Structure formats: C-alpha cells, structure tokens
C-alpha cells in the first residue's frame, strides 16, 4: 500500500507540469493559479468542517499569525513562479529544476534548526547539485534566453518553497497541516483575485476544462496520497520513490506526444542531460535512504 500510494504521488507530480503546459494555451497563469487555490480552499474547508478541525487557529499568537501569513505569501510565490517558468520552458526541465526545493529545504534545516547530515547524505546532495548542473548545461546550449529566464523563475520557485517549508515546520507545532493549508488557500484566492480573469474560464473547451480541473485537484490528491504513504511505509523509502519524478515526467511528455502529437514541443535532451537527470534521481535516493538511523 505504501509503495502504491508513493507511486500515485510521483505520478501526480510528474504529470502536473505537462497538464499545466497544455492548459496555459487557453488560460493565463494568474487565473489558472487562482482557480487551483479557490477549488482547494472550498474542498479543504468542507473536509475540515466535517471533521470539526477548524478550531486550531484560536491557539495562535501574533507571531504565529505573522509566520502563517508569510508562509501563505511564499507558497503563492512558489505556485506563480513555477507556472511562469513552465510557460517559458519545458515541463521536464521545470520538474527537474524544482528538485532544488527539497535540497534547499534540507540545507535550511541544517543552518536554521541545526539538523545533522551524515557523509552519505552529503554525497547525495553533492550528486544532486552535479546532476542539476549537468542537465542545466545541456539545456542551456539549445535553449537560449527564453530557457534561461524560465529556468530562473523555476529556481526562484524552489527558493520560496524552501522558505515556506521551513516556516511550516515551525507552525506545525501549533497548527495542523490541513488547517494551515486552508488558511493559505483562502489567502491565495483573495490575493490573486485582482490579477485573475475568471470570465476566460467560460471560453474553455471540454479538454482544457478537464485539464484545468486535473491541475486543481492534483495537489490535493498528491499530498493526500503522500500523507497516507508515510502512514504505511518508511519516510526514506517514500522519498526514494518520489526521487524518480523527473524521469517519470520525461516519460509523461513522451507519452503525451505519442498520444496527442503537436500538443507539446519535444524535449531537447542530450546524453549529458539524461545523465544529469539520472544523477539527480540517484542523489535524491541516496540522501533519503542513507538518512535512516539504525533502530534499537
């Protein structure tokens, strides 16, 4: 069950940038992101209300409210910067570069929370950095200025997500994760509303409506499956499965092009790029699996 749920999470995260790329043909980034947050807020509110999980906010002091607002703004930035990056570059490239996010979060944990890494984990992090550099160098040769700009936006999305994750770790001491996400979804819906154009959603065809709904539900399904996977399996093994997401994304792009020719531009990945992607996967698995401590 843990393996199945981890694979569901990886499949959701691998196919999301593909769905986003196609949806952006008819929906602008701000409206798409606003709709994703709005639907998530409605569904999360209904779920928490049914479980009577809305009372945790009363325990927050002024400092925690400020941290919660900062976390909301950082996650909004992550969604928007990532989507703008996907618009400028390819799905597989965006999915690989966003792997910087957990790397930056891990480094933040070392410096902020004084967490410790063993030698194998440091080797895994170094392997991830080397793989990202190799892939980036391969893509830069044929990508031009547009690729560089889009990649910079994805890297920025990774940076702000790492900041959000570090704040979330502190806030979880006082507030449940679903309640925190509900607040963030509501704030994001309000912040992005002036930038969104909801009327354009009425002009979508059936295919793009289906993709829009998939993009909106993807995060809820992915994080729900992720949480359940952790309940059934060791965190290190779940993380090792999720490390394959960039390779699964390359497969999703290839499958989409085969089933629906012309929907996506082909990925221009050379031998060095594939080698870099494999190194990212190996480094992520190494950092996850070798972080286990022997039991008593």
Where do runs of H (alpha helix) occur along the chain?
Answer: 2-23, 29-50, 62-88, 91-97, 100-112, 119-171, 177-192, 206-232, 235-242, 245-259, 271-289
Residue 184 in contact with residue 17, Cβ under 8 Å?
Answer: no
DSSP symbol at 175 = S
Q: Write down the pLDDT at residue 189.
A: 94
Structure tokens at 213: 């709904």
Q: Summarize pLDDT for 39-76 with one digit per residue, the tens.
A: 999 998 998 888 877 777 777 888 889 999 999 999 99
Whose CA is closest to 254, among 9, 14, 2? Answer: 14
Structure tokens at 39: 């639907």
The whole-chain average pLDDT of the chain stands at 83
Distance CA 139, CA 93 (A): 8
Q: Write down the pLDDT at residue 294.
A: 45
Domains of the chain: which residue ranges? Answer: 2-289
Instruction: Map tokens 């194998």 to a residue.
Output: 120
Structure tokens at 135: 């892939």
Radius of gyration of the chain (CA): 19
Q: Summarize pLDDT for 228-279 with one digit per residue, the tens.
A: 887 787 766 777 777 788 888 888 888 888 887 776 776 677 788 788 888 8
């Amino acid at each position: 069950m843990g393996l199945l749920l981890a694979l569901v999470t990886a499949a959701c995260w691998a196919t999301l940038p593909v769905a986003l790329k196609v949806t952006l043909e008819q929906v602008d980034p701000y409206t798409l992101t606003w709709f994703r947050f709005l639907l998530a807020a409605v569904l999360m509110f209904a779920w928490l209300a049914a479980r009577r999980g809305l009372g945790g906010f009363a325990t927050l002091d002024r400092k925690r409210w400020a941290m919660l607002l900062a976390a909301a703004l950082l996650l909004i930035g992550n969604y928007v910067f990532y989507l703008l990056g996907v618009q400028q570059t390819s799905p597989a490239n965006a999915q690989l570069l966003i792997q910087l996010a957990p790397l930056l979060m891990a480094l933040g944990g070392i410096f902020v929370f004084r967490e410790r890494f063993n030698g194998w984990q440091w080797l895994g992090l170094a392997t991830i950095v080397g793989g990202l550099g190799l892939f980036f160098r391969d893509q830069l040769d044929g990508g031009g200025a547009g690729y560089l700009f889009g990649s910079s936006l994805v890297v920025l999305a990774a940076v702000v997500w790492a900041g959000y994750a570090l704040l979330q770790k502190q806030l979880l001491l006082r507030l449940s994760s679903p309640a925190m996400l509900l607040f963030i979804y509501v704030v994001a819906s309000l912040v992005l509303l002036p930038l969104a154009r909801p009327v354009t959603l009425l002009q979508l065809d059936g295919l793009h409506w289906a993709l829009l709904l998939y993009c909106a539900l993807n995060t809820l399904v992915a994080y729900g499956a992720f949480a359940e996977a952790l309940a059934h399996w060791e965190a290190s093994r779940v993380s090792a499965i999720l490390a394959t997401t960039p390779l699964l994304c390359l497969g999703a792009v290839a499958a989409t092009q085969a089933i629906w020719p012309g929907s996506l531009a082909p990925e221009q990945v050379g031998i060095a790029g594939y080698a870099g992607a494999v190194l990212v996967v190996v480094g992520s698995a190494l950092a996850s699996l070798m972080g286990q401590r022997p039991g008593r």
